[in-house]
Amino acid sequence: MFAFSLLLGLLATRPVLGDTCWRNTTCSTITDTAFPGVWEDNIFAPESRLVSPESILSANDGVTIGSWNGSATLAANGSQLVFDFGKEVGGIIHLDFLVSGDSSGAVGIAFTEAKNWIGEWSDSSNGELVGPDGAIYANFTGPGKVSYVAPDERLRGGFRYVTLFLIADSASVDLSSIEIEIGFQPTWSNLKAYQGYFHSSDSLLNSIWYSGAYTLQTNAVPVHFGRWVPFLHTGWANNGTLGPGDTIIVDGAKRDRAVWPGDMGIAVPSTFVSVGDLDSVKNALQTMYDNQNADGSFPEAGPPLLQQGSDTYHMWTMIGTYNYLLYTNDTAFLAENYNGYLRAMDFIYGKVSAPGLLNVTGTRDWARWQTGFNMSEAQMILYRTLNTGSSLATWIGDADNSTLWLSRASSLQNATLEYCFDPSYGAFKDNATATTLHPQDANSMSVLFGLVGADSSTAQSISSRLTENWTPIGPDSPELPGNVSPFISSFELQAHLTIGQTERALELIRTSWGWYLNNPNGSQSTVIEGYLTNGTFGYRWSRGYDNDFSYVSHAHGWSSGPTSALTEYVLGLSITGRVGSTWSFAPQFGDLSFAEGGYVTSLGKFSASWVKSNSTTGQGGGKYSATVSTPAGTVGSLTLPVLQQGVQPIVSVDGHQVKTTWARKSGVVFDTVLVSDVKGGNHTIVVS
């Protein structure tokens, strides 16, 4: 009887939070992984929405003291211990402890993502020109048991370490429970229920793929837990309302916890191939349409921040709309927002003037220093906007605008090549004016978005010029010198892959993302917003207000490019028509010996694999085999690397030899052959 009532008491005060979605959200129907297998060991997401630390570190030197076994003591005033969750987590902290001694006092609680910032002050999340985040306190008034739950607005969105410290004249504290109620991916009852997977012969690349996926999960947050505006002067508050629905994708776990459409070009494709949570994407896009300005412009950031004045971010909302439609065919969403989309197109195209280039007057952008006027990066983004807009217009039956936007894209392409390209250098300048700066962003995008042809010598020149920015830990971005931007590098690596420079792309992933993932001071589970080329976690140092090196976000979805790139280019499985009605399988091997992966759309599962064989029977002295599984009713193409340059291989599909045509026969990178009109189904391919 006693045990029974004790149990009831526990149930009453401590709801079982393990396998539930967050608080009052409506749970998603996604409850289990779509592709069970050994690769699930690489998922960083915890088993349960309630997590405890893994180990305890000394606050003095960060050295591990032991593992967390459910008991630790803060012996006297000033005692501190650091609790390491072993990876990025985020949510609301719950503590249970027993106070011995007479005095009142408090257990101070400070959070940090990076190990550099363990201690009595949290790392910085509240930003510019204001006071420190500091700590929160579980206060007590004398001896006895205390159960502390942080107030909702003190949800901490991203951290790996919690420092607990005692403030009391004469008391000691025995901690018996430290738990985080995970706030992210709020509508999922099973945080490991991934709808996509990737696995290959390279364990570092596999971990990087999953670190991007986990980052996106930490960026999918409950809509009432965004950063409060106006920013606080000290401390932090995450009680801002971000948009409609129950879950929404923001830029970062710790900060800024607002919708930033700059993420839509990288975070949305990576979400699609991995976690598969497109509800958070839809709500993020909807909040931009809901807050569209009278002149047709979108805000640069969603509410409550509602920062304005960015032509590039305006266009990323438009490109994000295309990406979302491509993956979901959510025609109801498009129909509801198409008028807004047309106004957005009128707004941005209205800024194109002689000589046929976009004149950027909404000058906010990602962290690059110089913006405005005929900046090349914005031309590339407008080119992508017009081409994707043309597809959107077709999908909604607006053939006239579809044609018009395509022809505008062609004119813009010509003007950009004429005024922004630097033929003597072999890459784009930063703008149409005389400048010796050849930026990473515009050049990467020119290749990725097809403003220069994938098979052209210009594209090869740009790819090669981009490598001149490389340092041992990632590219030093010329437009933000001294900084590595995994956001812009996410475009760069896809540019290399677009033109078959596989080894180059893999090297970039390993040096930059690999450096971060293996950094003992980092989260070792997520992708970082940016860092300095000298290997410190500061980002955008020297502008003044970002001098606080602890302000950088260690879980930023805009840096998750390797996740979509490894699936779409290296495994080589991508969808080319809505929800995969048409698809492409175009593997690139680099130095890998096998890769496999898949994802899900409303039509069903898509998956593929390839494996190189050591056999010497093929024409080039080797062969490889592959499988592709796509839903019935779809149609796709196979773009297959040859075994020997210039020699058409023997290709069999399901045991029958098929005709191929040359897809690429440049001799510069690996040649490829094409098999068209492959019907959906389960296919086995052998190339010899």
Ligand X SMILES: *[C@@H]1O[C@H](CO)[C@@H](O)[C@H](O)[C@H]1NC(C)=O
In angstroms, the CA 174 to CA 73 distance is 4
Candidate residues 76, 437, 650, 658; the one interacting with ligand X per rule CB under 6 A: 437
Of 75, 103, 102, nearest in space to 175 by CA: 75
Residues in 605-664 that interact with ligand X by CB under 6 A: 613-614, 629, 632
Q: Token pair 């690999």 is at which residue?
A: 514
Q: DSSP class of residue 513?
A: I
Number of Cβ atoms within 10 Å of the Cβ of 275: 28
Query: Residue 526 Cβ, how far from ligand X at the closest point, in Å?
Result: 22
Using the rule CB under 6 A, give the single segment among 5-13, 272-280, 399-407, 463-471 that binds ligand X: 399-407
For residue 1, the minimal CB distance to ligand X (Å) is 29
Residue 5 within binding range of ligand X, rule CB under 6 A: no
Name which of residues 79 to 108 contact ligand X (CB under 6 A): 106
Could you tell me the smallest distance in angstroms from the CB atom of residue 437 to ligand X?
Answer: 4
Contacts 24+ apart (CB under 8 A), 417-423: 417/451, 417/452, 418/355, 419/355, 419/357, 419/374, 420/357, 420/374, 420/376, 420/379, 421/458
Question: If DSSP codes are grouped into helix, strand and coil, which group holds residue 176?
Answer: strand
Q: Which of 652, 639, 645, 638 is nearest to 671 (CA)?
A: 645
Beta carbon nearer to ligand X, 20 or 648: 20
User: For residue 556, which of 450, 449, 484, 617 has the smallest C-alpha distance?
Assistant: 484
3-state helix, strand, coil in the chain (%, to 5): 30, 25, 40
Q: At closest approach, how far in Å is the CB of 632 from ligand X?
A: 4
Which has the closest alpha carbon to 580: 610, 602, 608, 609?
A: 602
Stretch that binds ligand X, among 183-191, 203-211, 491-499, 676-684 (CB under 6 A): 676-684
What is d(CA 172, CA 58) in angstroms, rounded to the nearest whole number?
18
As measured in angstroms, the least distance from the Cβ of 112 to ligand X is 18
Return the SS3 of 310. Answer: strand
Q: How far is the CB of 144 from ligand X (least distance, A)?
A: 16
- In terms of CB distance, is 71 or 424 closer to ligand X? 71
Which residues within the stretch 118-137 sit at the binding site for ligand X (CB under 6 A)? 137
Q: Give the largest Cα separation in the chain, rounded.
A: 87
Select the span of 269-277, 341-349, 559-567, 643-651 touching ligand X (CB under 6 A): 341-349
Which residue, 431 or 564, has its beta carbon nearer to ligand X? 431
Binding to ligand X in span 165-204, by CB under 6 A: 167
Q: Are strands 171-182 and 672-687 parallel, antiparallel or unpaired?
A: unpaired
Least separation in angstroms between CB 605 and ligand X: 8
Which residues inside 497-556 make contact with ligand X, applying CB under 6 A? 532, 534, 536, 538, 541
Structure tokens at 568: 């779409």
At closest approach, how far in Å is the CB of 33 from ligand X?
16
Question: Phi, psi at residue 233, to the nearest 5°?
Answer: -85, -35
- Residue 374 burial (CB count, 10 A): 22
Q: Distance (Å, rounded) from C-alpha 346 to C-alpha 268?
A: 24
CB 574 within 8 A of CB 505: no
Of 9 and 633, which has the nearer Cβ to ligand X? 633
Using rule CB under 6 A, residue 431 touches ligand X: yes
430 lies in the site for ligand X, by CB under 6 A: yes
Q: For residues 573 and 583, is the Cβ–Cβ distance under 8 A?
A: yes
Interface with ligand X (CB under 6 A), residue total 57
Q: Is 398 in the site for ligand X (CB under 6 A)?
A: yes
Q: In angstroms, rounded to a whole number, what is the distance separating the alpha carbons of residues 490 and 508?
A: 9
Q: Going residue by residue from 50 to 69, which x/- string records binding to ligand X, judged by CB under 6 A?
A: ------x--------xx--x
Strands (E), 511-558: 531-532
State the sign of the Cα–Cα–Cα–Cα dihedral 454, 455, 460, 462.
negative
User: Binding pattern to ligand X, positions 212-251, x when CB under 6 A?
Assistant: ------------x---x---x----x-x------------
Closest CB to ligand X among residues 214, 341:
341
Nearest distance from C-beta of residue 225 to ligand X, angstroms: 7
For residue 361, state whether it binds ligand X (rule: CB under 6 A): yes
Least gap, CB of 560 to ligand X (angstroms): 25
Q: In the complex, what is the shortest distance from the CB of residue 66 to ligand X, in angstroms, rounded to a whole number? A: 3
If the CB atoms of residues 103 and 652 are measured against ligand X, the closer one turns out to be: 103
Distance CA 402, CA 383 (A): 14
Nearer to ligand X, 417 or 648 (CB): 417
303 is an interface residue for ligand X by CB under 6 A: no
Interacting residues with ligand X (CB under 6 A): 24, 56, 65-66, 69, 71-72, 106, 137, 139, 152-153, 167, 224, 228, 232, 237, 239, 329, 331, 342, 345-346, 353, 359, 361, 370, 372-374, 398, 400-401, 407, 410-411, 414, 430-431, 433, 435, 437, 532, 534, 536, 538, 541, 578-579, 581, 613-614, 629, 632, 680-682
